[in-house]
Each structure stands twice: as C-alpha cells, then as structure tokens.
Chains A and B, each alone.
Chain A
Amino acid sequence: MFTDKVDLKDFEKQDPEYQDLLRRVLAIQADCEIGGPNLYVKDILPNAPTKLDQLIVARTAAEEMDHFRKMARLAGDIGVDVSYTLSRPNQERYVEAFRGQITTWEDYAVFGFLIDRVGRFQLEEFLGCTYLPLARVVEDPDIIREEEGHVDFGTNATAEFAAKGGESKERIQKAIDYWYVKGLDMFGNSKSYRSERYMFWGLKRRPNAVARQQYKDEIDALILKMGLTLPDPNKGRLYT
C-alpha cells in the first residue's frame, strides 16, 4: 500500500500507474461536476416553480461550476486539459447519470437528493488521499458544505412532494424509481480492478461495493421515512 504524500512538484516522479489513475479520476470528476448544470440549467432555470427556486438553481449551478473549476485546475496542473468536457454533448459524459436532460422539478429534486449525494460520497473518497493538491481541495470546507447544501435542498423538496400525497407522491416516486439505480451504478463495478488500484495508491478510501452499500443504507432509510417505496435495486442496473 502506497502511503507517501505527493505534491505537484513530485507528480512526474511517481509510478506511471499512479499518474494515469490520477489523470483519469480528475477528468471524470470534472466531467461530473459540469455534467450536473448541463442536465438542468436549460429547462429548470426558466421553469422552476418560484423565483426563489430559480435563484437557487442558478446558485447551485455556480457552485458546481466552482467545483468543476477546482478539478479542472488540478487536472490542468498535471497536463490534462479537461476543457472538452465543457462542449461535449450530454450523451458523451463519462457517467451514465449525466447523459440525459432534466425537465421536471421532481427530477431536479431527486437529482439533488440522490445524485448529488453520490457526488458527496465521491468527494469524500479523496479526503486524506496521497495526492496533496486534491486532498487540500476536498478538505476545504466549502466544497463538501456546498454539496451537502444541494443534497439537503433535494432531500427536503423530495420529502415535500411525498408528504403532499396523491399525484405529487406518485410523480416523485416515479423520479425516485428513475434515479435510484443510476445512483447505485455511479459507484461502478463491485469487482473493479481499477478500484483496487485506486485504493492501493491511496487515491480512494473505500472499495466500490462498500461505498455503494453505505450510500444505499443512507438513502433507503430516507426514502422509507418519506413514505415512499424502495425501487428494485437490481432492475436496470449497468454495474453490480
């Protein structure tokens, strides 16, 4: 197990596998950060239920853009230009959850509740990691606090829809059914060799399956508390 702490000046001295994995994870993280706003800004910013909601959508997008900026900077500093992630179509995003378009407020709420929560889990993977510039970014309280803000907004909005009952509850259940498996899939394959290598190099803390199970335990409890039904965790899954 690799336990050294690596700063930018020593990056090129590292094992090629370490360099490749770091380049890869930063490109994916940047793509995911900008992938969120690309899903919802177009339709949700003009059509959010209230002006307050519109401003919240704009502020959320700005915070995700700032997370993108930080990841793009880390990637750029080690020679990876991730500007292509700004112009690519959603269908070409690294992660399947970012390949569509969010057109309803229910989907926007559940996206915050479930998918931004995966984002928080992914950022937490880098806490204390061996690449110091990345560890510093995620250990800055702003980035996790902002992500938690998005998660809380989505969780509260989802709970409000569920509490209304009737058609509102049905619509939010439909959104839960759609995003639930996408969230589980975002943790990747449980038997991923690459995941083991990330852990070996101290770039991630948990195996995919462990992080996914922790996430699932957290969201299942919340979904049930809202009086909603747990979707089949295996239906439509790309990775197990």
Chain B
Amino acid sequence: MEPAQNTEALDQQFKEFIQGIKKAVAAGMPHLKDDPKVVDQSIADCKEILDVVMEGNVKEWLS
C-alpha cells in the first residue's frame, strides 16, 4: 500500500511543532512566580508556533 503523498513530511513537521510548543511551555512553567519575562517569552513562542499551525498553510511548510 502506497501512503498518501506527504504523509511522512507532515508527520515530521507536526512533531517539530509539538516539540516546540512543549519545550516553550516547559521553559515557562517553573517561572510563573519568579520571572514574568521568561513566562511572557514562553507564551510568545507558543503563540508564534500555534499561529503558523492555525493558518494551515501546509504547502508552504512542506515545500
């Protein structure tokens, strides 16, 4: 059975998105009480990735 085109590439791209968000969340969580700048940066990093995902421009990601 031939997989659909881009199956592997989409899977890899999503792994990167997911790891990026989880890494940003993990960076911010320990500093909720002591370093608002770190937390703000974490949230900004999450937002940057999520904005790309929500835009859904798959062709651009995989090109």
The 5 closest A-B pairs by CB, nearest first: A76-B7, A87-B56, A58-B46, A81-B4, A62-B21
Contact, CB under 8 Å: B54 / A37: yes
Question: How many residues in A have their beta carbons less than 8 Å from beta carbons of B?
Answer: 35
Contact, CB under 8 Å: B25 / A73: no
* Complex contacts, A58 vs chain B, CB 8 Å: 21, 24-25, 43, 46-47, 50
Which residues of B, 33-51, contact A by the 8 Å Cβ criterion? 36, 39-40, 42-43, 46-47, 50
With A65-B18, A69-B14: A81-B6 Cβ-Cβ less than 8 Å: yes
Q: Which of B39, B50, B55 contacts A51 (CB 8 A)?
A: B39
Instruction: Say yes or no for A55: interface residue by CB 8 A criterion.
Output: yes
With A46-B47, A51-B36, A87-B58: A11-B1 Cβ-Cβ less than 8 Å: yes
Contact-residue bracket for chain B: 35 or more
Q: Which of A65, A77, A83 contacts B17 (CB 8 A)?
A: A65
Contact, CB under 8 Å: A77 / B1: yes
* Complex contacts, A37 vs chain B, CB 8 Å: 50, 53-54
Q: Which of B10, B24, B39, B56 contacts A72 (CB 8 A)?
A: B10
A149 CB to closest chain B CB (Å) equals 13
A216 CB to closest chain B CB (Å) equals 32
Instruction: Say yes or no for A78: interface residue by CB 8 A criterion.
Output: yes
Using CB atoms and an 8 Å cutoff, list the residues of chain B in contact with chain A.
1-8, 10-11, 14-15, 17-18, 21-22, 24-25, 28-29, 32, 36, 39-40, 42-43, 46-47, 50, 53-58
Q: Which of A51, A69, A76, A87 contacts B18 (CB 8 A)?
A: A69
* Complex contacts, B50 vs chain A, CB 8 Å: 37, 41, 45, 58, 61
B43 CB to closest chain A CB (Å) equals 5
Contact, CB under 8 Å: B1 / A8: yes
B59 CB to closest chain A CB (Å) equals 9
Contact, CB under 8 Å: A66 / B14: yes
A68 CB to closest chain B CB (Å) equals 7
With A51-B32, A86-B56: A62-B15 Cβ-Cβ less than 8 Å: no
Interchain CA distance A225-B16 in the complex, whole Å: 41
Smallest CB-CB separation from B40: which chain A residue?
A51
